[in-house]
Structure 1
Amino acid sequence: MMQEQDAKQLFSVRKNAIAKEKRYYNKFIFNGHFSVFLVILLGAFILGYGDWLKSIPKNINYALIASVIVAITSMFPLRTLLKDADRLFLLPFEKHMSIYISYSLNYSYFARVGLQIIMIIILFPLFYVLNNKTYDFYILFAVLMLILPYVGLLLKWQWYKYRLESWSLHTLLFILYTSSYYVALDAKQIASVTSILLIIGLVMLLKAQNKNQLFPWERLIKSEQQHHMNYYKFVNMFTDVKHLKETAVRRSYLDPLLGTPKSKQFNENYMYLYLFKRSFARGKDAFNIILRLVLIALILMFWLNHPVVTVIIGSLFMYIILLQMAQFYTQQAYGLWPQVWPSSDTKVIKGYEQFLYRLMVIVGILFVIVYVITFPMYSYFGLLFFLVGWLTIRNVIKKLKYQEALLKD
Structure 2
Amino acid sequence: MIDQAQALFKTRKEGIAKEKRYYNKFIFNGHFSVFLVLLLGAFILGYGQWLRAIPKGINYSPITSIIFALTSMFPVRTLLKEADKLFLLPFERHMTRYMRYSLIYSYLQRIALQIVLLIVFFPLFYQIKGHTYGFYILFSILAIIAPFLGLVLKWQWFKYGLENWSVHVVLFIIFTMGYYVALDVGKFTSVAIIGVLIAFAFFIWLASRNHLFPWERMIQIEQQHHTNYYKFVNMFTDVKHLSESAVRRRYLDPLLSVPKGSKFSSERMYLFLFTRSFARGKDAFNIILRLVIIAAVLMIWLHQPIISLIIGSLFMYIILLQMAQFYTQQAYGLWPQVWPVDDSKVIKGYRQFLYRLMIVVAVIFIIIYAFIAIQYIFASLVFILVGWLTIINIVKKLKYQETLLRD
Q: Could you tell me the TM-score, scaled by structure 2's length? A: 0.98
* CA distance in 2 between partners of 1:39 and 1:165 (Å): 41
* CA distance in 2 between partners of 1:82 and 1:215 (Å): 12
Aligned: 1:201 with 2:199: yes
* CA distance in 2 between partners of 1:256 and 1:181 (Å): 48
Task: Give 4+ residue runs of structure 1 displaced > 3 Å after superposition.
Answer: none
Q: Which residue of 2 aligns with 1:79?
A: 77
| Structure 2 unaligned residues grouped into runs of 5+ | none
CA offsets per residue over residues 53-88 of structure 1, 9 Å max, x none?
A: 111111122111111111111111100000000000
* CA distance in 2 between partners of 1:200 and 1:297 (Å): 42
**Residues 147-296 of structure 1 mapped to structure 2, 5 A cutoff:** 147-296=145-294
Q: Which residue of 1 aligns with 2:129?
A: 131
CA offsets per residue over residues 274-300 of structure 1, 9 Å max, x none?
A: 111111111111111111111111111
Paired letter, 1:358: R
Q: Which residue of 1 aligns with 2:301?
A: 303
**Residues 93-132 of structure 1 mapped to structure 2, 5 A cutoff:** 93-132=91-130
Q: Indicate which of 58, 61, 65 corresponds to 1:60.
A: 58
- Give the drift of 1:260: 2.0
- Give the drift of 1:305: 2.6
* CA distance in 2 between partners of 1:163 and 1:223 (Å): 14
* CA distance in 1 between partners of 2:191 and 2:356 (Å): 53
Q: Which residue of 2 aligns with 1:4?
A: 2
Aligned: 1:336 with 2:354: no
* CA distance in 1 between partners of 2:372 and 2:97 (Å): 56
* CA distance in 2 between partners of 1:268 and 1:287 (Å): 25
SS at match of 1:38: helix
* CA distance in 1 between partners of 2:2 and 2:93 (Å): 13
- Give the drift of 1:17: 0.6
Over the residues paired in the alignment, what is the CA RMSD in angstroms?
0.9
* CA distance in 2 between partners of 1:191 and 1:374 (Å): 45
* CA distance in 2 between partners of 1:149 and 1:187 (Å): 21
SS at match of 1:245: coil
* CA distance in 1 between partners of 2:269 and 2:155 (Å): 50
CA offsets per residue over residues 156-189 of structure 1, 9 Å max, x none?
A: 1000000000111111111111111111111112
**How many residues were matched structurally?**
407
* CA distance in 2 between partners of 1:73 and 1:262 (Å): 51
Percentage of pairs with the same residue: 65
- Give the drift of 1:257: 1.5
The answer as to whether partners of 2:304 and 2:372 remain within 8 angstroms in 1 is: no
Summarize the Cα distance change of 1:263–1:61 in structure 2 as closer, same or farther, 3 Å threshold.
Answer: farther
CA offsets per residue over residues 94-118 of structure 1, 9 Å max, x none?
A: 1110010000000000001111011
* CA distance in 1 between partners of 2:133 and 2:139 (Å): 10
* CA distance in 2 between partners of 1:61 and 1:371 (Å): 30
Q: Which residue of 1 aligns with 2:403?
A: 405
* CA distance in 2 between partners of 1:11 and 1:390 (Å): 50
Q: Could you tell me the TM-score, scaled by structure 1's length? A: 0.98
CA offsets per residue over residues 127-167 of structure 1, 9 Å max, x none?
A: 11111221111111111111111000000100000000011
Paired letter, 1:298: A
Q: Which residue of 1 aligns with 2:359?
A: 361
